[in-house]
Structure 1
Amino acid sequence: MDWLRRLAGQTGGRKPPVHTVGTDPDYRFSLANERTFLAWIRTALALLAGGIAVVQIVPSFSIGWARHILGIALIVLAILIAATSYTRWERRERAIREGAPLPPSLLPRLVGLGISAVMISAMVFILVDVARGRR
């Protein structure tokens, strides 16, 4: 689970609540950070809905478990985003309040690679169906 903590930006140790550190920033920065957090949550919800839709609505591929692989991959991405989005918000809010550089995040790279893997898998499943004359 250390990799999940690193992804979320947690390094261990208890930090004081974010609203008690540094100085109050320009509220526009805090609101922008909150909008970004909410955008990650919307992305997670969209991926969850997509994962469920793939399993429940998309016609079967000639490879019987293909829909489940695609759906599960989308849902796992949704879980990772939702599970790490608050910590991501908190780390950035803390940096804004302390006047520190914004911390890096692996989440955008993970999401980009994960969605790319799902797309490539879907393309392969469709091409297999075409080659077998099913589509």
Structure 2
Amino acid sequence: MSGTDQRFVLANERTYLAYVRTALALMAAGGAILQLGDILGGEDSTRLVGAGILVVGILVAVLGYVRWRDNDRRIAEDLPLRTTPIPLMLGIGVVAFGVVVLVLSLV
């Protein structure tokens, strides 16, 4: 790894930490919604939304690690990095849960 530009390694680590922060924020939001009882149109819908957001947070943590590990290996081997659909999936998931929370809050 002596020929590897360390800036790429450090940038990869910063990206992984961003995934971790995002995952923690989602898990905290999901846990908070689960603890707030029936504020979103009933206990069942609140539990479903909270659990869904919590699961997305867990998935982001796992996918972030997998992405970091793949990039780390590819950087060490001087291979091109792969593109990933994770940010798009995360964006769609956050928007979808936001819309669900908004609708259930207004009902």
Residue 97 of structure 1 and its aligned partner are, at CA, apart by 2.7
Aligned length: 107
Name the structure where helix makes up a greater proportion of residues. 2
**Percent of pairs identical after alignment?**
38
Aligned twin of 1:61: 40
Q: How big is the shift at 1:66?
A: 2.0
Could you say which residue in structure 1 is the equivalent of 2:94? 115
What runs of 5+ residues in structure 2 fail to find an aligned partner?
none
Please identify the structure whose Cα radius of gyration is greater: 1
Q: 1:8 — aligned with what? A: none
Q: How far apart are 1:58 and its partner, in Å?
A: 6.4
Question: Which letter does structure 2 place at the counterpart of 1:35?
Answer: R
Deviations 1:21-47 (A, max 9, x none): xx6311111011011111101111111
Gaps of 5+ in 1: 1-18, 129-135
Query: How do 1:65-104 residues align onto structure 2 when only pairs under 5 Å count?
Result: 65-104=44-83
Q: CA RMSD in A?
A: 1.9
Can you list the C-alpha shifts for 1:63-120, whole angstroms capped at 9, x where unaligned?
Answer: 3322112211111111111112222012112222333321011211211111111011
Determine which of 22, 28, 37 is the counterpart of 2:16. Answer: 37
1:24 paired residue number:
3
Match of 1:46 in 2: 25
Work out the CA distance in 1 between the residues paired with 2:98 and 2:51.
Answer: 13
